[in-house]
Amino acid sequence: MELLNIIVLLGLGLTVISVLSLIIERLFFPSILAFIAIGVAVGFFWDGNEVFKVAGEIGIILLFFLLGLKFPLTELVKRMKQVWKAGVLDIVLAFGVTIGIALLFGLDFPQAFLIGAVLYATSSSISAKLLERNSDKHEDIKEFVLALLIFEDIFAPLILTVAPFIIQDEPIAFSDIGKVFVGFLVFGVLLFVGSRFVTKQPKIAKHMLRQDDASIGLIGLILFFAGIGMIFGLSEILGAFIAGIMLAGIHDVRPLKRLTVPVRDLFLPIFFISFGISINLEQGVIINTLFFVLIVWGVLSKWIVGRVGGRLFGLTRVQANEAGFSLAPRGEFSILFTALSNGAINLFVGLYIFVSAIIGIVLFRFSESLAAKTEQTLKRVLPEETDRKPDQTDKGD
């Protein structure tokens, strides 16, 4: 009877989640917001358990595998060469300056580091989904935004690797540094060997993917790479991302997506629901001056990255503005950092992630009109800067 009740509740829960997700999607908002809201509501009655959290981690691991699957190694290197200047500016502003702001408000360095890490990475899942829906957005803007997201997806796991030693005040031993170094070496070898294998032996790879139980082997391989990352003190999502890059060399990756997307779609909502559960509103909502400053700076820093980095990338001024307004939502990476903290600061950053995701989505939807109005304002305020290169003014606007 107890098993029957569990099955009924599970079926009812999945149905409710699906209906709420559909409603949110109809309102042109990503379903992630519905999942987080469901988690907040569930958190009043249930604190979750280890099995639930592990299921959510499987979902985020598969998400980053699929992100890596979009970019073969050669394509990834090409994109990094195109966007590295904007990527460095992103690190300085969204991560470095944010830490400085938090320190100025009296937070200690571990808390300031956590806030800097949370504000750094744009949500790849939200932004990628919004880009897919907005087919009318200029291809140059899409290319720049996706390239910058990939840069963040590479750098953010590095921050996640060192974060426990800073946020949780864990002592750093020489053996820990050596283990991380060995981990990168192992992943480098696996990436090189695996990429060459799938490129040189495409028939073997395709034959393996046509097997009836191919999904078991594929997901096992992804989790194996994620586990290697954890063993060597790296992030599990870095391992999954590398596994995706390695297999991206297969000429046709559609079978890989067909095998993994349904599993991701089942487990990924659990990750966001689990995050929502961790936002314990019974502790009291902390909204102070720092919260509003971070909201404004979170938007402004990404706009500057889009404006300056986009121009360096080759976008026109209006396109660069539009790119900047497309980078505001925070999501999965920021959520991963909250797992390293607890108490009031955890609630603070949790609320920030939820609010910034909503603001970022709204800014994305109106990014085209905001970009044009921003450029008009800049022309009035900084006429010399905007007229410096008149030959590029109307390019692609």
Query: Tens of pLDDT along 218-243?
Result: 899 999 999 998 888 787 888 898 99
Per-residue tokens: 2 = 């107890």
CB of 1 within 8 A of CB of 7? no
pLDDT at 113: 92
CB of 191 within 8 A of CB of 245? yes
pLDDT by residue for the chain (397 residues), tens digit each? 565 667 887 788 778 778 877 777 776 667 777 888 888 888 888 877 788 888 888 988 998 898 888 878 888 888 888 899 999 999 999 999 999 999 999 998 988 999 999 999 888 777 877 777 776 777 888 889 888 988 888 888 888 878 887 876 666 666 777 888 888 899 889 888 888 888 777 777 677 777 767 888 889 999 999 999 888 878 788 889 899 988 888 877 888 888 898 888 888 888 888 888 877 766 656 678 899 999 999 999 999 999 999 999 989 889 999 999 988 888 777 888 877 776 667 788 888 888 888 898 889 888 888 998 888 888 777 665 554 544 444 444 4
pLDDT at 339: 75
Other beta carbons within 10 angstroms of residue 185's beta carbon come to 11
Distance of CA 178 to the CA centre of its chain: 27
Per-residue tokens: 173 = 């031993």
The two most distant CA atoms of the chain are separated, in Å, by 76
What span, in angstroms and rounded, lies between the C-alpha atoms of 12 and 6?
Answer: 10
pLDDT at 300: 94
Global confidence as pTM: 0.80
